[in-house]
Chain A
């Protein structure tokens, strides 16, 4: 084959992989993502990447972790987590990682709980390798923090019956397949979406609100559908305009989507996934209020983020750890809801909230908790 055609094919291949992936770390033709793992055990890096950056571990647990492989570390509970994006994404992965750190602090620090993590594992093959590695390194709990990891996880879990696995967002613990060591966790994002929709409808003067979504699936879709219903419950004539960028990490496109929404008349915006930081930047520039989800996004636009739905995984994690310590390594499906405190609506203290918003929110919250309001009909 002529050399030149080969190179054109390489470029087209790269183009296809990049566009199909929509990842935070696109797969190049010859190598996988560049992970940052705090587990310093030699040879554990589960990718073939030639130039990976080993970030300084964020917990001192990593150095202790290395010696733990040689000598038993005693009572410390070991957790490992594989994530599709970074711990600084102000959204999905950060919510779980921050929760782990809070649990660690509650339990008494690194001596009580050791955390190992791998980020940017959007590529399922890399993630599967990481999960297998973590399971074989003696971790008590291995968390697969991404819906896409499910199939691989169900292949790996039977090989390590004493290791507890956790998978989210998901509701299937693999019980039907005979698996006993998988926990599942889910966030009923539509509930917070509904509340955010109520807030948006009350705040909007033009009756038009804009949504910047990633991919029409998972908790993003749940959140956005709930949001739409929340808006319509307050103002049935409102327009909820949705743009899906097709990727979780395309920050530039998310920003342009926000610009498009605002140019088309939206005066309140919301959105999901780590790419929303681009949209929040545009909202800040054009003074449009923003409603956040997955994590508290008010730091990015202190005067314009009205409220965020925050995923608080601490309760779920504590329950899992307690169960594992008492001998149960799986089988429970957890839900984050407004009622059980797993989902919280965190208002930004720097945003001046009109009193009618608070009234509407309280009414909606009460309705969801007692079941009288149907978030997803």
Chain B
């Protein structure tokens, strides 16, 4: 028990937290953009899997992780366009079409993995990079500033995303389309174009999140690698009140508790392993239930847009 309250352990927990947060952050920030414009994409996990597979396969065959990143972004864009087509143009029920996208991503990535690779293998993906000045700060340096490039990318998305949503015209249009598409439409903002853009962008980020698992954190691909991370990311968007900063806090909290349950077990603290495993999900549900910020929800979320109807 004494082992637990040492500096080394606490730093270890924080380091794990930052690393675990990466895929959730990519997926959740991407989903925030989509949901802010009124489209709920439940297929994030499937897109993550396809992104993970594409990045892995391209890195495996070409040896370049950046080529893998490019492949993931392209695949994500294609799947995002598909989701946008189904939800925006065909006006299908977004929950159902999202699940369909998830199953497509899961099945297709597994099929392609079996056909092209067959067994689990490893690649050399993005290695940990210590930032020059910041990495030398004692204590904080190793924890916050010694990570792979994709980790830094994920965290940079938060301020960039917040700035775009709150301080640019695009962001204003996105928010308008999500809250009141009829009003936005009457003012000349193209609801369809904005929603296509946000859903595609969100899917590209989700694919990048999947790639961050297969060519950065784990350096392998396996069937169903994400194991539900995408669904958690969607929940964390609600959790974070549809704001990038809120999403960051939610992701960090979830990852912290996840990391905590690993360290609790390693330092011999006598919590039953089953309870430790439950903690992150329990916490998310409790906070979600107690959250009273319903007002932040985009008014037109999940409602397909038809010009002229109310």
Contacts and interface: CB of A to CB of B under 8 A. Distances in A.
Interface of A: 3-4, 7-8, 10-12, 14-16, 18-19, 21-26, 28-31, 34, 36, 49-53, 55-56, 86, 88-90, 120, 210, 216, 241-247, 249-253, 255-257, 259-261, 263-264, 274, 277-278, 281-282, 284-285, 299-301
Q: Which 6 pairs of residues, A with B, have the shortest CB-CB distance? A: A246-B277, A53-B107, A18-B228, A244-B273, A53-B111, A51-B103
25 contacts: A7-B40, A7-B301, A8-B288, A10-B42, A11-B231, A11-B235, A14-B234, A15-B284, A19-B278, A19-B281, A24-B224, A26-B224, A51-B100, A55-B114, A88-B114, A89-B120, A251-B218, A252-B229, A256-B20, A260-B259, A263-B8, A264-B12, A264-B263, A282-B218, A301-B122
A323 B108 CA distance: 40
A50 B100 contact: yes
B169 interface: no
Contact of B267 (A31, A120, A264): A264
A25 B231 CA distance: 13
A19 B235 CA distance: 12
A260 B262 contact: yes
Contacts of A260: 12, 16, 259, 262-263, 266
B27 interface: no
B96 interface: yes
Which of A10, A15, A31, A249 has the most B CB atoms < 10 Å from its CB? Answer: A15
A281 B277 CA distance: 22
A12 B227 contact: no
B153 interface: no
Contacts of B219: 281, 285
A88 B223 contact: yes
B106 A34 contact: yes
B99 A30 contact: yes
Contacts of A22: 227
Given A28-B102, A251-B218, A281-B122, 11 more contacts: A4-B294, A4-B302, A7-B40, A14-B235, A15-B281, A26-B227, A88-B118, A252-B229, A255-B218, A260-B262, A260-B263
A260 B263 CA distance: 7
A252 B106 contact: no
A34 to B, nearest CB: 4
Given A11-B234, A252-B23, A24 B223 contact: yes
B211 interface: no
A255 B148 CA distance: 15
B120 A25 contact: no
Nearest to A54: B111
Contacts of A259: 16, 19
B258 interface: yes
Contacts of B226: 252
A60 B4 CA distance: 56
Contacts of A216: 273-274
A253 B262 contact: yes
A86 to B, nearest CB: 5
Contacts of A242: 265
Contacts of B23: 252
A10 B218 CA distance: 30
A26 B228 contact: yes
Contacts of B274: 216, 244, 246
Given A246-B277, A260-B16, A260-B266, A18 B231 contact: yes
Interface string B213-236: 100011110111111110110110
B95 interface: yes
A243 B42 contact: no
B121 interface: yes
Which of A4, A21, A28, A244 has the most B CB atoms < 10 Å from its CB? Answer: A28
A14 B103 contact: no
B235 A12 contact: yes
B110 A34 contact: yes
B285 interface: yes
A374 to B, nearest CB: 25
B119 interface: yes
A216 B301 CA distance: 41
Contact of A56 (B99, B115, B119, B217): B115
A28 B113 CA distance: 21
B185 interface: no
Interface string B155-179: 0000000000000000000000000
B225 A251 contact: yes
B184 to A, nearest CB: 19
B104 interface: yes
B20 to A, nearest CB: 6
B238 interface: yes
Contacts of A8: 238, 288
A285 B276 CA distance: 27
Interface string B250-287: 00000000110011011110000110111001001100
Nearest to A282: B218
Contacts of B262: 243, 245, 253, 256-257, 260
A263 B221 CA distance: 24
A36 to B, nearest CB: 8
B277 A244 contact: yes
Contacts of A23: 227
B190 to A, nearest CB: 24
A326 B285 CA distance: 57
Nearest to A19: B281
Interface in B3-46: 3, 8-9, 12, 15-16, 19-20, 23, 40, 42
A278 B20 CA distance: 13
A34 B104 CA distance: 10
Contacts of B121: 299-300
A50 B101 CA distance: 10
Contact of B232 (A15, A55, A264, A278): A15
Contact of A88 (B3, B119, B278, B281): B119
A253 B102 CA distance: 21
Contacts of B266: 210, 241, 243, 260-261, 264
